[in-house]
Amino acid sequence: MAKELKELTSRSDNYSQWYNDLVIKADLAENSAVRGCMVIKPYGYAIWEKIQAELDRMFKETGHVNAYFPMFIPKSFLSKEAEHVDGFAKECAVVTHHRLKNSPDGKGLIVDPDAKLEEELIVRPTSETIIWSTYKGWIQSYRDLPILCNQWANVVRWEMRTRLFLRTTEFLWQEGHTAHATEAEALEETKKMLEVYADFAERFMAVPVIKGVKTANERFAGALDTFCIEALMQDGKALQAGTSHFLGQNFAKAFDVTFMDKNNKLDHVWASSWGVSTRLIGALIMTHSDDNGLVLPPSLAPFQVVIVPIYKNEEQLALISEKVAEIVTKLKALGISVKFDNNDNKKPGWKFAEYELKGVPVRLAMGARDLENGTVEIARRDTLTKETVSLENIEIHINELLKEIQKNIFQKAFDHRASVTREVNSYDDFKVEIEKGGFLLCHWDGTPATEELIKEETKATIRCIPLEGDKTPGVCMVTGKPSVQRVVFARAY
Amino acid sequence: MAKELKELTSRSDNYSQWYNDLVIKADLAENSAVRGCMVIKPYGYAIWEKIQAELDRMFKETGHVNAYFPMFIPKSFLSKEAEHVDGFAKECAVVTHHRLKNSPDGKGLIVDPDAKLEEELIVRPTSETIIWSTYKGWIQSYRDLPILCNQWANVVRWEMRTRLFLRTTEFLWQEGHTAHATEAEALEETKKMLEVYADFAERFMAVPVIKGVKTANERFAGALDTFCIEALMQDGKALQAGTSHFLGQNFAKAFDVTFMDKNNKLDHVWASSWGVSTRLIGALIMTHSDDNGLVLPPSLAPFQVVIVPIYKNEEQLALISEKVAEIVTKLKALGISVKFDNNDNKKPGWKFAEYELKGVPVRLAMGARDLENGTVEIARRDTLTKETVSLENIEIHINELLKEIQKNIFQKAFDHRASVTREVNSYDDFKVEIEKGGFLLCHWDGTPATEELIKEETKATIRCIPLEGDKTPGVCMVTGKPSVQRVVFARAY
């Protein structure tokens, strides 16, 4: 791609601009001709494919299967669950007609008024309604349960302000929709998937997360409880990285899905739903990257190692290529993905900057002197350090290094989060501290009114009521009323 | 799922009903609440995942990368390529508004008239236009070429008459869109992907195909040439299983995509596009299945082997399970997917019928006598034959058997096709023969008028001008005018 390697805006200058610059310059995504919709470019999509592959494996290991449900939802379906309609039947893409025809004036196409749909269709903002209308036909008895389906799909929410990956009108995601015979089972499933998400975020994305429950204000429209994982970005703002909803019997009631239980008693089915989206790529970028570009966790990097030859003539290149081929074979045998960039149009310096920008975890450079000495130069993207090492057992060294990088960037993110997470006990302090960003652990009286007041006055929201950690009761920092435990406040994406 | 194992309609009674019954009863897919859109159920989707995995690997091995482009296309984009607009700007889903609101009468939701889009958006029926509008920003010089992108996506074509998998309003597919510096390269790519499709159809789906070129009448709207693979179903009707289009510079011209060539001369970019869809599952079903249910090729079966225990008590089941565990381990070590169905709610006879219906290639049954004798009963789905074999080297036996089944069902389909493919030399004979179904190889004068006449009078279309085989010239069976080679006629899905 023709593209100048201009400097990124630095994070300290303008974090938001840095993010936008980086997404574009690292060839991850770009805005499209359609307002709010993005084009996910091959390098960005390759990260999504890695995310998909790992999550899909984890879903299947926990007993789930994939399926596919229609992208269109009849308008009337959205009204069936009372709370769901308020949450999702607002800004959405509405299909009203099914035909275009040539304009009588010969100037292009017009919507054919004769092709108006009897009932408008909504492009799914989430699929609970169409899926539960389908499950009604699948479930008669407890023997048909549980149903543990996931789908990988595109969804549309007509957002007013969009940002690449973080908030786009169309985005890609997975949505799990499960049906159970008992409340306990559905709740267990909801929590199990929260654990899967947390495990994925921490082990693969190297993003530390807080597991918690949303307050009523922040709950998914139609859920009895929304569990979430919350991550902290480098600018001190929070990002919700995944949610798992306990839906109770709400959707079963809305779509009249009942089953005969073991005692021959008819009951409504219990449900969960859970999802993560291409937003995770935004989280990945904002957690690890620096002023030189992306820093990708080895577990999700499209390629983990890049090898750049440094040569004066064809003969040298041939010798280096021969040696590189050996290294590549050894790395691949260990399951390490590697790219040998012998492109003759670009200079090594250009390549170094390019792969730094693209966040390739490990870069090898091999020149004439390395050939002589049986060595190679290894550069780490996370620390930007270099060392020259012997080619002997190089694959083992690199394998260890990749593990170390994965661990190191997690630790760095963990330490950063720790450094900006603190307990705050008075609302006056809160107003000062929230300006500095980070997670604030505070007592809250549990009422939507107090939460709303804090949000209005400080733009901070309760990210979650954490499941783990300190559970000591206290008094609300605003009202002085009793609080059962501290909750996590932050400003959020 | 609660479902009675009723008999399928037989193929000879009503082929079309047999197909519909089979798709539903084998739990592959069902119609949804949205007209013309299907729900792909887990068992059907598992086949699609196998298809995706193999094709995706083949695409990557031939140098392609995945990306994702918006599902919405601005209405005006469709008008930019003169022929494309006639082909695709007709029956489509048109998004006209971006908001719903509560009806003033309190009776549900209405479209908010204040949220009318300035320009309507079309849900992609295919993505040439949105992708070429994007490529404009990616391409300046020959150094930016080729671009070899594929996307896995859903598309919508507002079909009047739909059938599960074969023709649905929304379907899943992949679409490759490539950009090249020269005509020769674009044409080479078009043909390369045709070979990939043919290879996939024959090796994995076990469906023999004819590779050919479409006539002008049947060409993709906007292409200079459409290459295709054509398969023959058991009822003697043809099914187009994949297409690869040479687009020339049509879309580059429509979206003004130029590049500086090696001689510093500005030229329009050359293009190809190619796709296969969930229709392939329809082809798979109709090529191999029988009156007992699905027959799946081992290469694409969600699981290749099922093991059913036959026991009188828990003790027997425990002993059988122990033995089965050993077999499972050995099979998995060879990469063979296997399911042990120890479900206590269903009798062995029910399970046998169920897995026959679902087309599992190999079924093992193990009872008390097998335990004593160190044997197992093996049933082949393709031939419905059974044999009792020793457990010694059972995994090697099964591995060979799976290969043999794959080969056998291909050969069976190949022989069937051969038996109903014949040369026809007079139009009178043609009118008789076309009623019997199959591929008819005939001379045609190369004019759209003659082709159209034949279609009107006989409902047969030219499936393709085959690339391989007999190229002897002759005279058109209708007009007596010269013909350069025989073409393939059939009635088609």
Domain ranges of chain B: 15-70+126-288, 307-400, 421-490
Q: Which of B33, B66, B75 sits opposite A109 (nearest CB)?
A: B75
Q: Is the predicted pLDDT of residue A88 greater than 90, yes or no?
A: no
> Tell me, which fold does domain B307-400 have in CATH?
Rossmann fold (3.40.50)
Predicted confidence (pLDDT) per residue in B241-270, tens digit: 999 999 999 999 999 999 999 999 999 999
**CB-based contacts of B189: which residues, under 8 Å, 6+ apart?**
B146, B148, B178, B180, B272
Instruction: Kindly determine whether residue A39 and residue B68, on different chains, have CB atoms separated by under 8 Å.
Output: yes
A108/B contact by beta carbon, under 8 A: yes
Instruction: Kindly determine whether residue A72 and residue B96, on different chains, have CB atoms separated by under 8 Å.
Output: no
Q: Is the predicted pLDDT of residue B351 greater than 80, yes or no?
A: yes
The CATH number given to A15-74+128-288 is 3.30.930.10
Q: Residue A110 is which amino acid?
A: I
A 17-46 residues inside an 8 A Cβ radius of B:
30, 32-34, 37-42, 45-46
Report the C-alpha gap between B66 and A47 in whole angstroms.
11
**Six token digits for residue A241:** 């990285």
> Got the DSSP string for B443-484?
E--S-HHHHHHHHHHH--EEEEEESSS----EE-TTT--EES
Predicted confidence (pLDDT) per residue in A404-448, tens digit: 999 999 999 999 999 999 999 999 999 999 999 999 999 999 999
**Six token digits for residue A317:** 């290149």
Q: Is the predicted pLDDT of residue A4 greater than 80, yes or no?
A: no
**CA torsion through residues B403, B406, B410, B413, sign:** positive
Model confidence band, residue A106 (pLDDT cutoffs 50, 70, 90): confident
Interface size between A and B, measured as CB pairs under 8 A: 197
A82/B contact by beta carbon, under 8 A: no
Instruction: Kindly determine whether residue B33 and residue A93, on different chains, have CB atoms separated by under 8 Å.
Output: no
Q: Residue A434 is which amino acid?
A: I
Model confidence band, residue A196 (pLDDT cutoffs 50, 70, 90): very high
Specify the residue for token string 């199959």.
B438
pLDDT for B254 equals 96
Predicted confidence (pLDDT) per residue in B395-415, tens digit: 999 999 999 999 999 999 999
Alpha-helical segments (H) within B204-274? 250-254
A169: left (phi over 0), alpha (psi -120 to 50) or beta: alpha
Q: Is the predicted pLDDT of residue B2 greater than 60, yes or no?
A: no
In this structure, of A81-95, B398-412, B450-464, the range with the lowest mean pLDDT score is A81-95
pLDDT for B103 equals 87
In angstroms, how far apart are the furthest CA atoms of chain B? Answer: 82
pLDDT for B141 equals 97
Q: What is the mean pLDDT of chain B?
A: 96
Instruction: Kindly determine whether residue A34 and residue B91, on different chains, have CB atoms separated by under 8 Å.
Output: no
Report the C-alpha gap between A210 and A205 in whole angstroms.
14
pLDDT for B5 equals 52
Mean pLDDT of A268-292: 98
Q: Which of A40, A120, A122 sits opposite B68 (nearest CB)?
A: A40
Q: How far is A274 from chain B (nearest CA, A)?
A: 18
Best residue in B4, B98, B149, B174 for a mutation probing chain A (most A CBs within 10 Å): B98
Q: Is the predicted pLDDT of residue B4 greater than 70, yes or no?
A: no
Instruction: Kindly determine whether residue B34 and residue A73, on different chains, have CB atoms separated by under 8 Å.
Output: yes
CA proximity to B463, closest of B428, B490, B442: B490
For residue A489, CA distances in Å to A240, A435, B166, B270 come to 12, 12, 52, 54
pLDDT for A5 equals 52
DSSP helix/strand/coil, A450: helix
Query: Over the range B100-109, which residues count as b (16 or more CB within 10 Å of their CB) and which as e?
Result: bebeeeeeeb
Mean pLDDT of A46-60: 98
B116/A contact by beta carbon, under 8 A: no
Alpha-helical segments (H) within A97-249? 128-138, 183-203
Q: How far is A138 from chain B (nearest CA, A)?
A: 6
Instruction: Kindly determine whether residue B93 and residue A95, on different chains, have CB atoms separated by under 8 Å.
Output: yes
| H helices, E strands: number in chain A | 14, 26
Q: Is the predicted pLDDT of residue A217 greater than 60, yes or no?
A: yes
Q: Is the predicted pLDDT of residue A460 greater than 90, yes or no?
A: yes
pLDDT for B45 equals 98
Q: Is the predicted pLDDT of residue B377 greater than 60, yes or no?
A: yes
Model confidence band, residue A79 (pLDDT cutoffs 50, 70, 90): confident
Range A305-401 has CATH code 3.40.50.800: yes
Are A15-74+128-288 and A305-401 equal in CATH topology?
A: no
Mean pLDDT of A128-155: 97
Instruction: Kindly determine whether residue B93 and residue A72, on different chains, have CB atoms separated by under 8 Å.
Output: yes
**Six token digits for residue A467:** 């499941």
**CB-based contacts of A269: which residues, under 8 Å, 6+ apart?**
A135, A139, A145, A179, A180, A181, A249, A252, A257, A258, A259
Report the C-alpha gap between B436 and B420 in whole angstroms.
8
Geometric angle at alpha carbon B30, from B241 and B108, rounded to 5°: 120
HSE-CB for B53 with a 13 A CA cutoff: 14
Model confidence band, residue A345 (pLDDT cutoffs 50, 70, 90): confident
B256/A contact by beta carbon, under 8 A: no
Q: Is the predicted pLDDT of residue A452 greater than 70, yes or no?
A: yes
Q: How far is A183 from chain B (nearest CA, A)?
A: 20
| Gyration radius of chain A over CA positions | 26
Q: Which of A69, A144, A154 sits opposite B39 (nearest CB)?
A: A69
DSSP strands (E only) in B126-203: 147-156, 170-180
Model confidence band, residue B3 (pLDDT cutoffs 50, 70, 90): very low
B146 neighbourhood in chain A, CB within 8 Å: none
Report the C-alpha gap between A255 and A136 in whole angstroms.
7
Question: Which is higher by pLDDT, A227 or A89?
Answer: A227
Q: Is the predicted pLDDT of residue A112 greater than 60, yes or no?
A: yes
Report the C-alpha gap between B177 and B152 in whole angstroms.
12
Q: Is the predicted pLDDT of residue B163 greater than 80, yes or no?
A: yes
**CB-based contacts of B429: which residues, under 8 Å, 6+ apart?**
none
Specify the residue for token string 């079903």.
B285
Q: What is the mean pLDDT of chain A?
A: 96
Report the C-alpha gap between A379 and A356 in whole angstroms.
10
Predicted confidence (pLDDT) per residue in B125-146, tens digit: 999 999 999 999 999 999 999 9
A72 neighbourhood in chain B, CB within 8 Å: 34, 37, 93, 170
- Work out the burial of residue B20: count CB atoms within 10 Å of its CB; fewer than 13 is exposed, 13-18 middle, 19 or more buried: middle
Model confidence band, residue B169 (pLDDT cutoffs 50, 70, 90): very high
CA proximity to B4, closest of A279, A370, A33, A140: A140
A257: left (phi over 0), alpha (psi -120 to 50) or beta: beta
Rounded (10°) CA dihedral A277, A278, A284, A285: -150
pLDDT for B447 equals 97
Instruction: Kindly determine whether residue B67 and residue A39, on different chains, have CB atoms separated by under 8 Å.
Output: yes
Q: Is the predicted pLDDT of residue A3 greater than 50, yes or no?
A: no
CA proximity to B492, closest of B453, B451, B449, B463: B463
pLDDT for B89 equals 73
Predicted confidence (pLDDT) per residue in B21-69, tens digit: 999 999 999 999 999 999 999 999 999 999 999 999 999 999 999 999 9
HSE-CB for B256 with a 13 A CA cutoff: 2
Q: Is the predicted pLDDT of residue B13 greater than 70, yes or no?
A: yes
Q: Is the predicted pLDDT of residue A17 greater than 60, yes or no?
A: yes
Model confidence band, residue A90 (pLDDT cutoffs 50, 70, 90): confident
pLDDT for B6 equals 60
B182/A contact by beta carbon, under 8 A: no
Q: Could you tell me the CATH superfamily of domain A421-490? A: C-terminal domain of ProRS (3.30.110.30)
Domain range B15-70+126-288, its CATH number among 1.25.40.320, 3.40.640.10, 3.30.930.10, 1.20.120.10? 3.30.930.10
CA proximity to B134, closest of A29, A59, A11: A29
Question: Across the beta sheet with A147-156, what order do the strands follow?
Answer: A65-66, A147-156, A170-180, A270-277, A238-248, A225-232, A210-213, A461-466, A486-490, A439-443, A421-423
CA proximity to B192, closest of B89, B96, B310, B61: B61
